[in-house]
Homo-oligomer: A and B are copies of this chain.
Amino acid sequence: MKKIPYNSFFDHLNQYVPVSKKEFGDILSYFDERFLDKKEIVMHAGGPCTHIHLVLNGCMHMYFINEKGVERTVQFALENWWLSDFLAFQNKSNTDFNIQAVENTRILSISYEKQEQLLHEFPILERYFRTIYQIAYGASLNKVKHMFGLSKEEIYLHFTEHFPEFAQRVPQYLIASFLGLTPEYVSEIRAKKRS
């Protein structure tokens, strides 16, 4: 059992499946813990996607560089969120994305092979991952609705209203990138809101 407490992850798991303290200790042993400095990159575009990552503290984002050389964020992860190129992870192929720490961030990482061993030993975790992926997939379909159905200003206001924690913690230019807006446009909306 590692020294630092993992209460938040333990509680998060138990929201979905029953896991005892003893089992949780065994489950943790399948993961590697990493401390990332702000801006540190944990998955590199063009390389293999070998791990999925859980945020214990901090924040990460997954992004690609478009043909104009501009970073575009496709997903954020705060505490108890998983982040990876899940398609490349499943297919054991290379990824087009980078994953980078937005703040100093503590993560747990697990490789495909270790996850297979973990799921074999604790099949109840299939149910945990099934549920969180189902929710994440459902949320991504809803995101498409917001991106298609709302004006640019509404997209921004909807996001800050529904995810106030992000709006507080994540730099504006990353939120702009995630919402498909320019940083200048987000500054404009914010100025308008304040006035």
Contacts and interface: CB of A to CB of B under 8 A. Distances in A.
Interface of A: 62, 64, 66-67, 72, 74-75, 85-90, 96-97, 119, 123, 126-127, 129-131, 133-145, 147-150, 180
9 contacts: A66-B149, A86-B141, A88-B138, A90-B131, A96-B145, A97-B145, A123-B126, A129-B130, A133-B136
B74 A148 contact: yes
Contact of A74 (B67, B75, B134, B144): B144
Q: Please state the number of chain copies in the assembly.
A: 2
A138 B131 CA distance: 15
A117 to B, nearest CB: 14
A54 to B, nearest CB: 14
A25 to B, nearest CB: 23
A49 to B, nearest CB: 9
B138 A86 contact: yes
Contacts of A142: 85, 87, 96
A74 to B, nearest CB: 4
Given A85-B142, A147-B147, 8 more contacts: A64-B149, A66-B149, A86-B137, A87-B139, A90-B138, A133-B133, A133-B134, A140-B141
Contacts of A75: 141, 144
A88 B139 CA distance: 9
A127 B87 CA distance: 16
Contacts of A85: 138, 141-142
